[in-house]
Amino acid sequence: MSATVDLYAVNGLQQGGVAPMIGATSIFFTSRSYSDNNSKLAFGGRATIGNNFIRFGGSAMSGELQPDGAPRRNYSIAGVDVRASCEDLLRLTFEYATRSEEVPGLAGDNMVYGIVASGEVRVYNCPKMYLFSRYDTLEYRDNLGPDAGVERFTWGLNIPTPGGTLLSLNHEHWIFPSPQEEIDVVGTRWTAAF
């Protein structure tokens, strides 16, 4: 049995500006600059406990988001997860995460939350091949419009390849909100870790 605790502080987030090539407001580009208009620190941490077979974890973070020209507003992010494995024969994971953000002048907060549940079982040993399945959701709630969400079911085959890379062949079934729409995607991915 072992436990870990990590604590951190990061520069505050800024939102606003025009994102190149997509012409929309984006937190992605402006919040990643070294110099930011929000110098207030955000604090977070992660703790885990478990052994080689099962590990439980939890994370939390809180800070201020400052859109350009708007008052600062608080946000919080939290999540829990559990991971179980039996050697490299079977792996199971479950994660839940949520983010809430104050909305000035309105009652309540914006909230985004979702889950990921996945499993993988080794079906062949040489070369190693794993059959996997995954279910994930993303739900969005606010006081300005209708609730929205998306679901995705994925299944396929993972094949570890030389150099720590992974070849994945999979089918994804997406379910989008109103108008109710379902899309199927067949994909091939090759992932390399650096």
Round to whole Å and give the CA distance between 143 and 101: 12
| Domain ranges for the chain | 87-191
pLDDT-based confidence at 3, cuts 50/70/90?
Answer: very high
Overall average pLDDT of the 54-75 stretch: 82
Report pLDDT digits (tens) over 153-165. Answer: 999 999 999 888 9
- Chain mean pLDDT for the chain: 84
Residue 22, C-beta contacts closer than 8 angstroms, at least 6 positions apart: none
CB contact set of 190 (below 8 Å; sequence gap of 6+): 161, 165, 166, 167, 168
Cα–Cα distance, 178 to 112 (Å, whole number)? 18
pLDDT tens, position by position, 25-41: 444 455 555 445 556 78
Residues 87-121: pLDDT tens digits? 989 999 999 999 998 877 666 788 899 999 999 99
Question: Which residues on neighbouring strands pair with residue 79, listed in sequence order?
Answer: 59, 97
Unique residue bearing structure tokens 């025009």: 18
Residue 85, pLDDT above cutoff 60: yes
Instruction: Dig out the tokens for 62 from the structure.
Output: 């809180």
The residue with tokens 């993988």 is: 120
